[in-house]
Amino acid sequence: MPKLSLWRSVIHLEPAEWDILIVSTCLKLLLFPAYRSTDFEVHRNWLSITHSLPISKWYYDTTSEWTLDYPPFFAYFEKLMSIPAYFIDPRIVDLNNLNYAAWSVVAYQRTTVILTELVLGAAVLRFIRGATDPTTQRIISASLFLHPGFLIIDHIHFQYNGFMFGILLWSILMARNDNKLASGFLFAVLLNFKHIYMYLAPAYFIYLLRSFCLSPSGALLPARFIALANAVILVFLVSLGPFLLMGQLPQLLSRLFPFTRGLNHAYWAPNAWALVTAADRVLLKCKSALGSLAVNSSGVASTSRGLVGDTVFAVIPNVKPIHTFIITIAFQAIYLVKLWRTPTYKSFLTALTLCGYTSFMFGWHVHEKAILLVLVPLSLLAAENHAYFRTFLLASVAGIFSLFPLLFTAPETLIKVIYSVTWAIFIFIPLHRRVYEFPRSLPFVIIDGLEKLYLAGFILLQAFVTFFPVATRQSSASLEFLPLMLTSVYCSVGLVWAFLRLSVLYLRG
Amino acid sequence: MHKHGMKSWVVPCAVLGSVGAKWAVGLSSYSGQGTPPMYGDYEAQRHWMELTIHLPVREWYKYDLQYWGLDYPPLTAYVSWLCGVVGSWINPAWFALDASRGIESEGSKVYMRTTVLILDTLVYLPALLLFVRAWHANRSFRTQETALLTLLLQPALLVVDFGHFQYNSVMLGLTLLALNCFATGRDLLGAFFFVLSLGFKQMALYYAPAIGSYLLGKCLYLGSVHGPRHFVNLAVVTGLTTLVLFLPFLPPLAPLAAILDPITRIFPFNRGLFEDKVANFWCASDVLIKWRRRLGPKALVRLATALTVLGFLPGAAGLLYSGWRLNPQPVTVDSMKGDKDTGDVRKAAVREPAPIMALLPYALLTSSMSFFLFSFQVHEKTILLPLMPLTLLLSGAGEGSETREVGALASNVAMFSMWPLLQRDGLGVPYVALTVLWNRLLGYNPFRIPSKSYLQYLALGVHSTCVLLHILEALFTPPARYPDLFPVLNVLVSTPVFGLVWLWSVRRGVEAGWALGGLGSKSASTPKPAKIEVNGYDDAATASNKQSIGREAGARAISLGYAQGRRRHGHRNDSISSVLSGVN
């Protein structure tokens, strides 16, 4: 496609699209003074590292505790952003000006999030053009651009997920448009922005190998293979090359992969391990009631706090990183075999989602923010049929709710709830109308009812989480983490169920 | 939205979204944040909660007047007391007497913001919903929804109430409830609400000439038998409500002299002609004519009062004159004989809105804008009062209509006129975001190439000047000789626009009055045909379910008043309906 018309199609927006862009931007502007996590200072520190230090010191600097631990493209990206920052307020990029929180830096960094998120906006717009069902795709695209996950994590908590998921969606779009070389190239770029996308890499690898590098009969197409390999190697060279030359690769990798963390994050991400940990708690209660002695005493202390550091189980055998690794690979292998056999775009999309999902479910030290790796590709499948839609619904509701604890301050509570509810109404209702099917047999009716019951339970859960701290102001601190634990367990039930649903749908389909 | 079968969700989503937007505005700083020793309006409101819960009622208007002494009418004091009681129950430190002055904890801010949001949701939101149902009842759903959004997200109100921090929406909401009652023929309830509005914030007086004239005009319209009776009823309700509001300051609960405490606090004539910079006649003309040097304070008060009266006179007189003129011929002995149920018809008319209802929004605008432009001691935030009737008119106006052009221009200029205040409060970002948001929802682009009228050229010119001034202010610091250069320029841009809006409202009021039956002699027809219509609607209203009562009542409000007018002056029915909807 000629470059000019590409740009025109990106810039040319329909009135409804302008509405979404302008209204959402105004809302994001209003959120400038909202709560921001330490990630805000992390990124400010990276601006100052990349601005004040030569490239050779980027991955060695320890002035702030928030050392640079993203791949080089992100560092280059920060370097780029530090240039205007310097002209706006030189104090922003002052390395020793830790925890700088003047209005200039808040407004600047928040603005960069809004602007870079336009990459996401452009990608989802391009999904509409050339979609088989543009009206449905329009709803899905709007749902992605307005996703509460991005509002919570990027515009309040502070990160650049919108930008990076924008690159991911461009890459997926290229796969849909049968431009697989560009797809692989963009994914390689993405990996060099943030290495968490490695969770999705197996699906990309199998898909590109099978459908791009091999002919349908299974013969290798050398020209394509070499082109793809060159593209990917080129990207990695641009990214890692300077550090390779300086012999800093081991240092860089040690920053990127710190293997010193526990099974669960501070607040348990709502995955399989959250359920296992919860089961351990319950078993512990049972055992101590029965007076049994076979209890790991360090585990009793560990998870009663349910918090930072290593999780040690009291009853259930302890889980080691290698275990989580094996389980993840085993599950992914199942989907990848299926992908190898049916290397279509839709199959790729589902396998991609499931790869991310598996990593989220069974990974070591998973962070709750990683749920976006599941929700974003899953959104593209939302309108396949009613079964997919229901999976999307359950995963989205549970996944977005599981992000709520990120914003624990009172003023933001109302924002996240109102925004998510409004988003849900705008997205779920029209999609539901498009794909609705009546449950066909008794088991399906029962499952349907249970799922609805589960979804309704979130209202009670939110009420509990809101009012529990008020009601127990004076009582013991041991109950302090009960709302968090309950949120985690309740969300993980839904997410595990949606995971099973999606797996069955994919493997049977 | 309608395309996707989401019709029934539009209003809940609009309401939910507006609540979210209001709360998001509240994340910003408030007036006087971090500026001891006096802080700002936020501290004033908080301080009133503090003093009302700790002091006996009679001390309220006397306690340490130098530090934000209570100077709003008693309903504000009672509401403050309630907020204070609930707040102290959550955390007593927020409202500890004297010790809590200037408290700036996160929890206290959240609580204060919550009180505004809750009061707004309890008073203003229902008033808007009823308004849209009642006044735009015979318009399409889409128009009603757009109208609702336009009203819900009026940027000036949002930024002052939820950013700067005040409770204007309560006062405006009570007035709007009164209007809704008038529109559905419940005048007594309406009068009650309006007194509450006055009792909440004395600024509601800006509306009093229009509302008083409407009620009086209706009495004239009702004729010699039911008119006086209606008048007495209204007077009793108004008097009683006022009495109840001031009860704690009256005998036997307090000596007679006690009533002077709130009264002198509420009407401070000992302050200056204007404060800071405000886009009204006095401040703008002060650049040329140094009023305070030429005239003494007493003469200024008199001059201001005279100009204000002159300013609202057209609107008030229009209502009274039309009411008198539309009054059907007095019931004579002859007609009594021939037309037995005429008396019943007149009686029923008491419970209907008078046809002069169509004039009321314009009269409200004329009156409140006149107060804003000419009266004594006006604040820049007071522009919210003229903005309310203007936004009501705007909400139903069609694409490209004059009302819409004027409304959007005035609303944007009103935002602009508050810029110096908002800048001080650190509300620059909400200022931009809310203005852009509202214009987009309205579908109004101030910078499009004008095609139709001189008005569009004017709007383009004014908007461009505003943007230019913002850019200049950002780039240059004013010379030391004129530190107030930009605020003064702001006043000089804004005041003429407000003056034009005032003139426009007078003109439209006259037009609307003319449309109701010309400026000629009194009408001679009887309202008998309308009676059938009345019954039809009444039956429908009682028979239908709860939700549609609002709609039916609304249909009545419009169809009735105007159906009657239409029947009498059939040849003008186009202009009648367009007067209300603003489509022209």
Do A150 and A234 fall into the same domain? yes
CB pair distance less than 8 Å for A422 and B21: no
- Closest Cα partner for A381 from A297, A505, A475? A505
Number of inter-chain CB pairs under 8 A, A vs B: 88
- Closest Cα partner for B73 from B170, B191, B181, B176? B170
CB pair distance less than 8 Å for A430 and B13: no
Alpha carbon of residue A19 to chain centroid: 26
B9 → chain A, closest CA residue? A425
Query: Do residues B99 and B106 lie in contact, with contact meaning Cβ atoms separated by under 8 Å?
Result: no
* DSSP tag of B584: -
Q: Which helix (H) or strand (E) holds A20?
A: helix A15-30
Do A88 and A226 fall into the same domain? yes
Q: Please report where in the chains the tokens 């927020």 appear, as a residue.
A: B94
Cα torsion angle, B155, B159, B161, B166, sign: negative
* A245, A265, A289 - which closes a domain: A245
pLDDT of A305 over the 60 cut: no
Q: Which helix (H) or strand (E) holds A183?
A: helix A180-191
HSE value, Cβ hemisphere, 13 Å, CA-based, for A450 = 10
Among A19, A22, A27, select the one facing B21 at the smallest CB separation: A27
A135 → chain B, closest CA residue? B4
Residue B256, SS3 per DSSP: helix
Confidence (pLDDT) at B557: 38
CA distance B397 to B136: 10
pLDDT, tens digit (0-9, with 9 covering 90-100), for A345-354: 999 999 999 9
Instruction: Report yes or no on A307 lying in a domain.
Output: no
Instruction: Quickly list DSSP for A439-507.
Output: --SHHHHHHHHHHHHHHHHHHHHHHHHHHHHHHTSSS-GGGTTHHHHHHHHHHHHHHHHHHHHHHHHHH
Strand partners, A264: A366
CB pair distance less than 8 Å for B436 and A22: yes
The token pair that represents B545 in the structure block = 């379910």
Query: Do residues B499 and B373 lie in contact, with contact meaning Cβ atoms separated by under 8 Å?
Result: yes
* A189, A223, A245 - which closes a domain: A245
Confidence (pLDDT) at B263: 86
Helices and strands of chain A, counted as H and E runs = 22, 0
Confidence (pLDDT) at B461: 93
Query: Do residues B396 and B235 lie in contact, with contact meaning Cβ atoms separated by under 8 Å?
Result: no
Q: How many CB atoms lie within 10 A of CB A303?
A: 21
The token pair that represents B106 in the structure block = 């996160």
| Average pLDDT value for residue range A255-267 | 72
Question: B111 CA to chain A: closest CA distance, Å?
Answer: 10
Confidence (pLDDT) at A316: 76
The token pair that represents B453 in the structure block = 């009228």
CB pair distance less than 8 Å for B24 and A27: yes
Residue B269, SS3 per DSSP: coil
Confidence (pLDDT) at B400: 77
Tell me the pLDDT band of A491, cut-offs 50, 70 and 90.
very high
CA distance A329 to A203: 12
CA distance A464 to A484: 11
In terms of DSSP H, where are the helices of B246-359? Answer: 260-266, 281-285, 291-294, 297-326, 333-338, 342-350
Enumerate residues 6+ apart whose C-beta is below 8 A from B119.
Answer: B79, B167, B169, B170
Give the ipTM.
0.89
Do A330 and A235 fall into the same domain? no
Do A490 and A341 fall into the same domain? yes
CA distance A406 to A56: 34
- Closest Cα partner for A79 from A108, A52, A50, A43? A50
Alpha carbon of residue B380 to chain centroid: 15
- Largest alpha-carbon pair distance within chain A? 76
CB pair distance less than 8 Å for A30 and B27: yes
CA distance B356 to B526: 16
A chain contacts of residue B29, beta-carbon cutoff 8 Å: 33
B3 → chain A, closest CA residue? A430
Q: Determine the residue type at B106.
A: E
Query: Do residues B78 and B247 lie in contact, with contact meaning Cβ atoms separated by under 8 Å?
Result: no
Q: How many CB atoms lie within 10 A of CB B464?
A: 12
User: In terms of residue numbers, what domain contains A107?
Assistant: 14-245
A chain contacts of residue B30, beta-carbon cutoff 8 Å: none
Tally of domains in chain A:
2
Q: Is A34 an 8 Å CB contact of chain B?
A: yes
Tell me the pLDDT band of A147, cut-offs 50, 70 and 90.
very high
A chain contacts of residue B110, beta-carbon cutoff 8 Å: 410-411
Q: How many residues does chain B have?
A: 584
CB pair distance less than 8 Å for B24 and A30: yes
pLDDT, tens digit (0-9, with 9 covering 90-100), for A47-106: 999 999 999 999 998 888 888 989 999 999 999 999 999 999 999 999 888 889 899 999
Query: Do residues A194 and A70 lie in contact, with contact meaning Cβ atoms separated by under 8 Å?
Result: yes
B chain contacts of residue A415, beta-carbon cutoff 8 Å: 20, 23-24, 27
| Average pLDDT value for residue range A194-218 | 92
A111 → chain B, closest CA residue? B429
Tell me how far CA of residue B51 lies from CA of B48, B77, B403, in angstroms.
5, 9, 45
- Closest Cα partner for B405 from B582, B189, B556? B582
Confidence (pLDDT) at B544: 36
**For chain B, which residues make up each domain, given as ranges?**
37-104, 105-328+351-517
CB pair distance less than 8 Å for A30 and B21: yes
Question: B1 CA to chain A: closest CA distance, Å?
Answer: 8
CB pair distance less than 8 Å for A30 and B429: yes
CB pair distance less than 8 Å for A415 and B6: no
Do A416 and A329 fall into the same domain? yes
CB pair distance less than 8 Å for A410 and B110: yes
Tell me the pLDDT band of A15, cut-offs 50, 70 and 90.
confident
- Closest Cα partner for A198 from A208, A207, A187? A187
Among B12, B17, B27, select the one facing A31 at the smallest CB separation: B27
The token pair that represents B497 in the structure block = 């626009």
Among B6, B27, B440, select the one facing A22 at the smallest CB separation: B440
Question: B12 CA to chain A: closest CA distance, Å?
Answer: 9
The token pair that represents B199 in the structure block = 């009792």
Tell me the pLDDT band of A292, cut-offs 50, 70 and 90.
low
Query: Do residues B447 and B456 lie in contact, with contact meaning Cβ atoms separated by under 8 Å?
Result: no
CA distance B575 to B564: 14
Counting beta carbons within 10 angstroms of the beta carbon of residue A464, is it exposed (0 to 12), middle (13 to 18) or buried (19 or more)? middle
Query: Do residues B392 and B570 lie in contact, with contact meaning Cβ atoms separated by under 8 Å?
Result: no
Confidence (pLDDT) at A392: 96
Alpha carbon of residue B543 to chain centroid: 34
**Residues of chain B under the 70 pLDDT cut:** 1-5, 269-272, 275, 328-346, 452, 518-584
The token pair that represents A357 in the structure block = 């999902």
Query: Do residues A127 and A137 lie in contact, with contact meaning Cβ atoms separated by under 8 Å?
Result: yes
